[in-house]
Structure 1
Amino acid sequence: MFKCMALLRKRADISKEQFIAYYENNHSVLIRKLLPGIIDYRSNFIDMDGAFLFPDASPIDFDVITEIWLEDRAAYDRFIAASSDPDIARQIAEDEEHLFERGASRMVVVEERQWTKPAGRSQ
């Protein structure tokens, strides 16, 4: 599996509830419809209540972390190529105007690793 993650900031003039509702009911549906090869798509909405930040840490400047899984790097390359198609790019940009501060968007490729047992335990 191949994974990328997007860190996205909501528009300042919409509430968290409006943001989540539009994201879940419109944006994620559009992305999964337009872009090929998505195996899994998850949205992790930031909740700062109870967050822990070190005193010198940079401020959290995003509202959702989106995880997108594809089959492999070739599938990711097709996904990126499709997002560059002028018609698809236009549809995505028009939709993003409803909820994101687009200039703050970031997407990275990640190597996910999972630890199945707690550290320090032998069983």
Structure 2
Amino acid sequence: MTVTVLTLLKRRKGMSKADFIAYYESRHRLIGEKVLKGWATRYQRNHLHPLDGTDAPHDYDVVLEIDFPDQQTCDACFAAMADPATRREIIEDEERLFDRSRMRTYRLEARASSL
């Protein structure tokens, strides 16, 4: 059974949305691909754009979705990312991009309706 991990991310203060997306997609994404390769089956970044065009302080900027084939693989991936060198690389780049105090990660339990 597929396990989906969802993370809500907020850009760091003072960074424009355009600069945030450009940095994420040209640099931080590559770290994600490197550490998730062999574990995850999908690494999707959903950049959020408010329908009213107004960014509010409480808003998030991206919804990150990562799929794993099962819980065991998910757990093994997160254990591998806890390696000190890997963790340091991730955190150092996150500090250039995100308000780390706002990061929230969840395991999804999806329920869909047929319409």
Shared topology, TM-score over 0.5?
A: yes
Please give the per-residue CA displacement for 1:6-65, whole angstroms capped at 9, x wherever unaligned: 0000012111011001111111211120234111111111111248xxxxxxx7431110
Counterparts of 1:82-101 in structure 2 under 5 Å? 82-101=80-99
Question: Shift of the alpha carbon at 1:114?
Answer: 3.8
TM-score between both structures, scaled by the size of structure 1? 0.81
- How many aligned residue pairs are there? 110
In structure 1, the gaps of 5 or more residues are 52-58, 119-123
**Quick one: distance in 1 between partners of 2:29 and 2:104?**
16
Structure 2, gaps ≥5 residues long = none
Partner Cα separation in structure 1 for residue 29 and residue 110 of structure 2: 22
CA shift at 1:87, angstroms?
Answer: 0.6
- Counterpart of 1:23 in structure 2 is 24
In structure 1, the partner of 2:108 is 110
Once the two structures are superposed, residues 42-100 of structure 1 have per-residue CA deviations (whole angstroms, 9 ceiling, x without a partner) of 1111111248xxxxxxx743111000001100111011101211111000001101110
Contact 1:6 1:107 in 2 (8 A): yes
Alignment partner of 2:64 out of 42, 63, 66: 66
Tell me the amino acid that sits aligned with residue 48 of structure 1: P
Once superposed, which parts of structure 1, at least 4 consecutive aligned residues long, lie more than 6 Å away?
none
Structure 2 partner of 1:121: none
Identity of aligned residues (%): 36
Give 1 or 2 for the bigger CA radius of gyration. 1
Stretch of structure 1 that moved more, 33-42 or 96-105: 33-42
- Which is helix-richer, 1 or 2? 2
Which residue matches 1:34?
A: 35
Taking the aligned partners of 1:42 and 1:31, their CA distance within structure 2 comes to 10
- Amino acid in structure 1 at the alignment position of 2:62: V
Superposition RMSD in Å: 1.7
